[in-house]
Structure 1
């Protein structure tokens, strides 16, 4: 099995016009807006409130998908297509630890439920600036232990997350291992933010169409004030991955967080963990969230499906094809 999932994948799909258009749009809107606002606590609060206002608008639910709220907060169960209710994906949304919610990430969670053939529990964890990183991690651990208490077998649980949620996925895995709790079967990280230390980001500073490297550095300093920024539960890129389950890490070739994903893959492999590392050419940060509009963002879910099948199947392994030339995905 390890030979099937311990691979580097560099998809060679031709860049779609939709992806090119979105890169241009992001470069002219999201990147300058973040560069302007993420300089002071007031700007951070303003950006957070603007996004929160947008979340109040009715968000259409795709046909064949059911959304059920879980608890008093915005945590939700997402079910799409044929489901194995004995299994689950625990999903942590991204947003720099101050933005977004399970609702904003339904383009990911709906498709993830469909390809994983199991419900997705999208967690509404506590975020900054009110709550520190430790409380986000506490919520993630509580949610995982809650699934165990409900009778889910660890072999039927997958952790997944994007950006800051990818960070939370990695720190949750490390914390579970350190606490002696059973590990999930696998984890999927989309553009994980894994280094919150004082290392200045230089790779793709100008190539990234959506993220400003200096503003990512600013956020990292803000969230790690008073902490050891090289503690693996703060910057999981410095962690020891021994004993962790197989990982899938997906990045875009031009994003500023690309090398953080690469470094996690290297450290995990050094510890004997099989890693599927995928680097998609010219894709923006967390591009799977654009699946309603960008073909490449839909295609990645087929890759995730093959990874999960390879993890769960030992007698009939699934091969991951680095140059898969499919043109669309369901």
Structure 2
């Protein structure tokens, strides 16, 4: 790929130390050892983020405590000058449009945030969403879907379908991309399967960052990487998954996209860290997609925190991920 087709965040000439650091970060590739900044960030995230979930109560009150804490944190998430934020009403849910750089108004990226279906939101993700808009050159609709414990993943899927239908009213399907991370990656996959089942037009491509593919948490990495995952306590996620999967049929795609029929889905990019508990199921669904005839790309980065692109302010590899997302969308014709 030539420098002319790269996203606008790439700088080919760097005249200051800060610019040179940005260029070096953007040039990072999967397969190498984690940078020093990534290792330090992982330790801090483990001490703060993972501990807050791991040692909290397994009750609705425990979920709400984390939900309130992250909502407070989101108030301090700023964006650079020139980034436009516009609210979007979506019935019982809401969202916000994020536009950075020079996005193409004929395109759109529907993004579904992570957070175990019980925390997170567009404001918390602003450092991520503006970079996603700039790198992919398209407006990003960050969905603020309804959260547990008051709501269920099924409610979140209804919200995602409503948001996608809004995009279909404004854009050709070939101009739409969907994506998500962690629980939002699960929701993105469930959305694709629901679109297929209901006969709606599918988007041009999908991006799944460390998706929580299987609520039963049955993959080997849930055990093998239980100690090395810097963000997610394996036991807590498994308990949450059992709660959400209760009374679901084994072939329910919302219960587990891993069990869904992936035939006919659009090109997909899957990204994971080699040390996180969701590594194996991300690998597995990428392989299942390829076997179903889907153009699927899997990237595995070594030693990084779960959904490291979301921590792009602190993890250099997170900044590099936006280039890889942009290049994937170009290769997929999206």
Q: 1:10 to 1:295 in 2, by over 3 A?
A: closer
Structure 1 unaligned segments of length 5 or more: list them.
1-8, 314-330
Q: How many residues align?
A: 303
Does 2:188 align with 1:169?
Answer: yes
Does 2:87 align with 1:69?
Answer: yes
Aligned to 1:321: none
Matched ranges for 1:101-120 at <5 A: 101-120=121-140
Aligned 8 A contact 2:133 2:139 in 1: yes
Query: Aligned equivalents of 2:185 and 2:330: distance in 1?
Result: 21
Q: 1:206 to 1:188 in 2, by over 3 A?
A: same
Aligned 8 A contact 2:180 2:209 in 1: yes
Query: Aligned equivalents of 2:69 and 2:199: distance in 1?
Result: 41
Identify the match of residue 131 of structure 1 among 145, 151, 154.
Answer: 151
Aligned to 2:168: 148
Aligned 8 A contact 1:74 1:102 in 2: no
Query: Cα RMSD over matched residues?
Result: 1.8
Aligned to 1:282: 303
Q: Return the TM-score normalized by structure 2.
A: 0.86
Identify the match of residue 210 of structure 2 among 191, 214, 223.
Answer: 191
Aligned 8 A contact 1:196 1:217 in 2: yes
Q: 1:133 to 1:229 in 2, by over 3 A?
A: farther
Structure 2 unaligned segments of length 5 or more: list them.
1-27
1:261-293 Cα deviation digits (max 9, x unpaired): 111101111100011100000011010011122
Query: Aligned equivalents of 1:249 and 1:226: distance in 2?
Result: 29
Does 2:293 align with 1:272?
Answer: yes
Aligned 8 A contact 2:99 2:134 in 1: yes
Identify the match of residue 242 of structure 1 among 214, 239, 263.
Answer: 263
Query: Aligned equivalents of 1:38 and 1:263: distance in 2?
Result: 31
Does 2:170 align with 1:182?
Answer: no
